[in-house]
């Protein structure tokens, strides 16, 4: 049995693991996909203290290295639930069961889809959710970014450096991302920003995407854009389904927990850290802060057993 199992190896989970090891607890981190979490999709992180500019994957690698150097154990598996009782919790995963005295949920969130027919069919064949991962495939091609927030604008800036043309399609009448990013895009000669439009259809031959239909929110006029690729950057949704019987989720699926990272739960010893919980600001800095708080709370809990 471990002292603490951390579910998710993003910034929150890896920081929780680091603090828990420094409190001399045994720690297992279970990650289903990519060590470092969402930030590994960011080409440049320029707001995390200590690094003027660093790629998200380098930052994730450094966090992972720091945690494993301290003796944190890592397992690649998908967690499907938590059960048990005070002092003896069972974490169920696809590959088996793991036991711990305390569990920290740090499962973050993942990209929101457009919800259009054929979106899954064209994923990887023209539809992408990550410009930093797939942008290189679209060098000298025409692409669209759907979304107008920070992630969308960052990705549009990145794509405009190598693509022939970049459309930014935003459903609202204005962009919601940082003004500095919008100004960079304004200065680019290969970028068109199209506000007040939604994507209504993906066009293709059943194998590869060749364009999209967009609808003007004011006039309802539908037009077609011929494209080689479309990047969807319309926000995130939490991945807390496996924990709905263990902790209380809000209407949007986030774990109801405050700055103390203590969710309303029928299982004592369960904590929630990072983007998976209710909070106003979802960033690396707030995720690592949660990781520290949750780990120290878990360590204190274990010491009372």
Residue 163 a catalytic site member: no
- Is there binding between residue 157 and ligand FAD (CB under 6 A)? no
- Is there binding between residue 13 and ligand FAD (CB under 6 A)? yes
- Is there binding between residue 12 and ligand FAD (CB under 6 A)? yes
Contact status, residue 124 vs residue 137, Cβ threshold 8 Å: no
Query: Given the rule CB under 6 A, which of 82-90, 103-111, 120-128, 207-215 is the region that contacts ligand FAD?
Result: 103-111
Query: Given the rule CB under 6 A, which of 84-92, 202-210, 219-227, 274-282 is the region that contacts ligand FAD?
Result: 274-282
| 84, 108, 126, 229: residue in contact with ligand FAD (rule CB under 6 A) | 108
Residue 134 a catalytic site member: yes
| 4, 5, 27, 30: residue in contact with ligand FAD (rule CB under 6 A) | 30
- Is there binding between residue 11 and ligand FAD (CB under 6 A)? yes
Residue 261 a catalytic site member: no
- Is there binding between residue 53 and ligand FAD (CB under 6 A)? no
- Is there binding between residue 151 and ligand FAD (CB under 6 A)? yes
In the complex, which residues of this chain contact ligand FAD (CB under 6 A)?
7-13, 30-34, 37-39, 41-42, 45, 47-48, 78-79, 106-109, 151, 239, 242, 274-275, 282-285, 287
Catalytic sites, residue numbers: 130, 133-134
């Amino acid at each position: 049995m471990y002292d603490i199992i951390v579910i998710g190896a993003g910034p929150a989970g890896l920081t929780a693991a680091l603090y828990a090891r420094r409190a001399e607890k045994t720690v297992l981190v279970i990650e289903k996909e990519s060590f470092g979490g969402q930030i590994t999709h960011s080409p440049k992180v320029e707001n995390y203290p200590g690094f003027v500019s660093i790629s998200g994957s380098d930052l994730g690698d450094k966090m992972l290295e720091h945690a494993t150097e301290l003796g944190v154990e890592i397992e690649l598996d998908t967690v499907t639930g938590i059960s048990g009782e005070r002092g003896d919790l069972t974490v169920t995963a696809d590959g088996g069961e793991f036991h711990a005295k305390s569990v920290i949920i740090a499962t973050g969130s993942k990209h929101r889809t457009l919800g259009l027919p054929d979106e899954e069919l064209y994923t990887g064949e023209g539809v992408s959710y990550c410009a930093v991962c797939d942008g290189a495939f679209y060098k000298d091609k025409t692409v669209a970014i759907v979304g107008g927030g920070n992630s969308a604008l960052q990705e549009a800036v990145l794509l405009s450096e190598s693509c022939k043309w970049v459309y930014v399609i935003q459903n609202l009448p204005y962009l919601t991302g940082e003004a500095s990013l919008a100004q960079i895009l304004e200065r680019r000669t290969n970028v068109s920003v199209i506000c007040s439009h939604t994507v209504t259809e993906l066009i293709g031959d059943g194998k590869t995407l060749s364009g999209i239909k967009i609808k003007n929110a004011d006039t309802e006029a539908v037009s077609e854009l011929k494209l080689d690729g479309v990047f969807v950057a319309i926000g995130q949704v939490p991945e807390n389904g496996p924990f709905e019987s263990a902790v209380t989720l809000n209407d949007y699926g986030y774990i109801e927990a405050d700055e103390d990272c203590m969710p309303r739960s029928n299982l004592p010893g369960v904590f929630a850290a990072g983007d998976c919980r209710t909070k106003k600001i979802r960033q690396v800095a707030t995720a690592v802060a949660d990781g520290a708080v949750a780990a120290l709370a878990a360590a204190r809990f274990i010491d009372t057993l």
